[in-house]
Structure 1
Amino acid sequence: MRDIFKLLKEGNKPSLLAGIVNTIIAILKGIAFFFTGNVAMFAETLHSLGDAANQFFVFIGSALSRKAPTPQFPNGFGRVVNLVCLGAVIIVAIMSYEAIKEGWHHVMNPTESGGFIINLSVLGIAIILELGVLYKAGKEILHEAGIEKGGLAPLTMGFTNLKKAKPATKLVFMEDLVATAGGILAFIAVLLAHFFNLLVAEGIASIMIGLMMFYVVGRVFLENARGAIGETDEEMLNHIAHIVAMDSDVKDIQQIEVIKEGEFLHVQVTAEVNPSHTLEYIDDIRDRLMKIILNQKGVQDVLISFDEDDGIRTWKGSNETNNIEEFSSKLPE
Structure 2
Amino acid sequence: MAIWWDKHMPTSGKTPLVFLASVLLNAAQAAVKLAAFIIVGSLALYAETLHSVGDVVNSFILYLASYIIVNKKPSPKYPFGFGRFPYIASIISISILVGAIANNILTQAYEALHEGGRLYGDVISGAYLLAIATFMDVGILLFIFMARDAWRNPSSKMRPLFMALILEDLFSFSGNAIALASLYMIGITSIADVIASIVIVAIIIMASAYVIYKNIEILIGRSAPRDVMLKVLNRISRISDVVDIDDLKSYVLTPDNIVIMATIGVDPRKSIDALEAL
* TM-score of Structure 1 vs Structure 2, range by shorter chain: 0.7 to 0.9
Distance 1:235 1:88, change over 3 A: farther
* Structure 2 unaligned residues grouped into runs of 5+: 1-11
Q: SS in structure 1 opposite 2:110?
A: helix
Q: CA, structure 1 residues 114+200, in 2 after alignment: closer, same or farther (shift >3 Å)? A: same
1:253 alignment partner, SS class: strand
Deviation string 1:51-85 (CA, Å, 9 cap, x unpaired) is 01221122113323552222222222221121122
**Retained in 2: the 8 A contact 1:237–1:258?**
no
Equivalent residue for 2:238?
A: 247
State the TM-score, normalizing by the size of structure 1. Answer: 0.68
Matched, 1:95 2:101: yes
Higher relative contact order (CA 8 A, sep 6+): 2
1:231 and 1:260 in contact (8 A); partners too? yes
Mean CA deviation greater in 179-188 or 251-260: 251-260
Aligned AA for 1:217? Answer: S
1:78 corresponding residue in structure 2: 83
- Share of identical aligned residues, percent? 22
Which residue of structure 2 aligns with residue 319 of structure 1? none
Report the AA paired with residue 74 of structure 2. P
Determine if contact 2:48/2:176 at 8 Å carries over to the other structure: yes
- Is the CA contact 2:152–2:159 (under 8 Å) kept in the aligned structure 1? no
Match of residue 124 from structure 1? 131
Partner of 2:74: 69
CA distance in 1, matches of 2:113, 2:138: 29
User: 3-state DSSP class of the match of 2:186?
Assistant: helix
Aligned to 1:172: 165
Give the counterpart of 2:52 among 48, 51, 71. Answer: 48
CA drift of 1:283 comes to: 6.7
Query: Paired residue for 2:61?
Result: 57
Match for residue 224 of structure 1 among 215, 219, 231: 215
Mapped to 1, the partners of 2:14 and 2:272 lie a distance apart of 39
CA contact (8 A) 1:39 1:103 kept: yes
Match of 2:31 in 1: 27
Select which of 168, 186, 192 maps to 2:179: 186
User: Contact 2:224 / 2:251 at 8 angstroms: preserved in 1?
Assistant: yes
> What is the total number of aligned residue pairs between the two structures?
261
Alignment match, 2:7: none
Q: Is contact 1:120–1:190 with CA below 8 Å preserved after alignment?
A: yes
- Offset at residue 37 of structure 1 (A): 1.6
What is the letter of the counterpart of residue 102 of structure 1? Answer: Q
Aligned in 2, Cα 1:253/1:100: closer, same or farther, shift over 3 Å? Answer: farther
CA RMSD of aligned residues (A): 3.1
Q: 1:14 to 1:257 in 2, by over 3 A?
A: farther
| Unmatched tracts of structure 1, length 5 or more | 1-7, 148-160, 287-333
What's 2:120 paired with?
A: 113
Separation of aligned partners in 2, 1:74 and 1:129: 40
TM-score (norm 2): 0.80
1:186–1:53 Cα change, 3 Å: same
Q: Is the 8 A contact 2:45 2:179 kept in 1?
A: yes
The answer to whether the 8 A contact 1:237-1:256 is kept is no
- Distance in 2, Cα, partners of 1:107 & 1:255: 61
What is the distance in 1 between the residues matched to 2:171 and 2:139?
A: 14
1:228 corresponds to which letter in structure 2? Answer: L
Q: Is the 8 A contact 2:250 2:258 kept in 1?
A: yes
Task: Give secondary structure in 2 for the equivalent of 1:258.
Answer: strand
Which residue pairs with 1:15 in the alignment? 19
* Change in 2 beyond 3 A, CA 1:79/1:179: same
Once the 2 structures are TM-superposed, how far is the Cα of residue 207 of structure 1 from its aligned partner?
Answer: 0.7
Q: Which moved more, 1:177-186 or 1:89-98?
A: 89-98
Equivalents in 2 of 1:252, 1:76: separation in Å?
34
> Residues 9 and 141 from structure 1, CA distance in 2 versus in 1: closer, same or farther, beyond 3 angstroms?
closer
Counterpart amino acid of residue 44 in structure 1: E
Aligned partners of 1:167 and 1:102: how far apart in 2?
Answer: 35
Alignment of 1:39 onto 2:31: no
